[in-house]
Amino acid sequence: MILDTLENADRYAGLQDGFRQAFAFLRGAARDCPPVGRVEIDGDRLFAVVSDGPGRKREAGQLEVHARYIDIQYVVSGTDEMGWKGAGKLASPSTPLDPEKDVAFYPDAPDAWIPVPAGSFAVFFPEDAHLPLVSEANIRKIVVKVVVSCP
């Protein structure tokens, strides 16, 4: 997991194919405010999902894990308090991996809670279980999905 601000995103551009393009998109999106929904960047290899709505309480969500995609979760407004736990420490899933949606859910409690304020992003790799959208207020965010590629 990585937590940082968009100003420092270039430090991570070389970590994964698609990161440079993802951060370039986020810089433009932070300025241009795309509408809610899916935004195509590079087909199924790289796309974004824009959301805007009320947060939830910690106990209302479950940890999620992705196998095929890395999430870059950028908070446009509000603060998203995200839960985290290493995927290797998870018990059995409450919802097994759905290959089409690339998500499995787990009832485990996060090991850490990280407030991610506006202008910041968190990167979750497949080994990072995460529970986003926790807030007492509205959250506008952009999640860029970057397909996992092998070196």
Copy the structure tokens of residue 123.
Answer: 């990167």
Full-model pTM = 0.95
pLDDT at 150 over 70: no
Q: What is the mean pLDDT of residues 137-149?
A: 95
C-beta neighbour count of 74 within 10 angstroms: 30
pLDDT at 23 over 60: yes
